[in-house]
Amino acid sequence: MIILEDIKTAIKRDPALRSGFLSFFEVFLYQGVYAIVLHRIAHFIWKLKIPFIPRFVSQVSRFLTQIEIHPGAKIGRRFFIDHGSGVVVGETAEIGDDVLMYHQVTLGGTSLNTGKRHPTIGNGVMIGAGAKLFGPLVVGDNSQIGGASVVTKNVPANSVVVGNPARIIKQKGVKVVEKVDTANLPDPIRLEFERLNEKIKKLEKKLER
C-alpha cells in the first residue's frame, strides 16, 4: 500500500528516529507524514473531479501541518518531507519517486495563465531547506538542490546546484552516489571572485615587470 510505503520511508530516511519497535508509532507524530497521507486522499478525490472536498482536505492539512500541497499536484512513491513547516507545492507540480524535501521549500509558478506552470521533480531528488523553484522547469533524476537556492531553469540529471540564481557545481555522467554535505556547499559567486582576484594580481605583477 502506497501510504504504508510513505510511513516506512519516513522511518528509513530520518536519522532522528530511534531504532526499535516504537519508531513505527513515533513517526505518526511527524507533520510531513500527515501532509502526504492527506494529500493522497485529496488527490484521489481531485481525480474524480469532485469539487470543494479536495480543497477542503488540503486546507485542513495545511492548518494541521503548516504544509500546503495543492490537491492537483502529482506525487510519486516514497516521498518524505523532513520537518516540513512552510513547504508549498503548486497545482501542476509533479514529484517523482524517492524524493526528499526539507522545510520551507516552494515549488511555485511564475504565471497566472492556466496550464503547466510549476516544476517537475525527477526521481531520487533531494531539495534542501528554503530552496525555491519557480516555473515549469525540470529537475533531472538524482540531482540535489542546495538549501536556499533559487532555481528558475532546468537542472540536468545527476547534478548539484546552489545559489541565487542556482548554478551547477557538480555534475556526473553517472548517478551521484555520495550525498553532498548541505551545510558546507561551496559558494560559486565567492569562488568566481577569488578566481578574478587571482587573475588581477598576476596582471599587476606583469605590469610591474
SS3 of 167, please?
strand
Buried b (16+ CB within 10 A) or exposed e, 134-154: bbbbebbbbbbbbbbbbbeee
Q: Assess contact for 172 and 158: CB atoms under 8 A.
A: yes
pLDDT for 23 equals 65
pLDDT for 186 equals 61
DSSP state of 24: H
pLDDT for 169 equals 85
Q: Assess contact for 127 and 99: CB atoms under 8 A.
A: yes
Q: Note the pTM of the prediction, 2 decimals.
A: 0.79
CATH 2.40.30.10 assigned to 90-209:
no
Q: What is the dihedral of CA 85, 180, 142, 71, to 10 degrees?
A: 0
pLDDT for 55 equals 96
Kindly give the confidence (pLDDT) of every residue in the chain, 209 residues in length, as a single tens digit, with 9 standing for 90 and above: 677 888 888 888 887 776 666 666 788 888 999 999 999 999 999 999 999 999 999 999 999 999 999 999 999 999 999 988 999 999 999 999 999 999 999 999 987 888 899 999 999 999 999 999 999 999 999 999 999 999 999 999 999 999 888 888 888 754 444 444 555 556 666 777 888 888 898 898 888 88
With residue 129 as reference, give the H or E element that holds it: none
Contacts 24+ apart (CB under 8 A), 175-184: 175/124, 175/141, 175/142, 176/142, 176/143, 176/144, 179/126, 179/144, 180/144, 180/146, 182/128, 182/129, 182/144, 182/146, 182/147
Q: Assess contact for 142 and 122: CB atoms under 8 A.
A: yes
Domain ranges of the chain: 1-72, 90-209
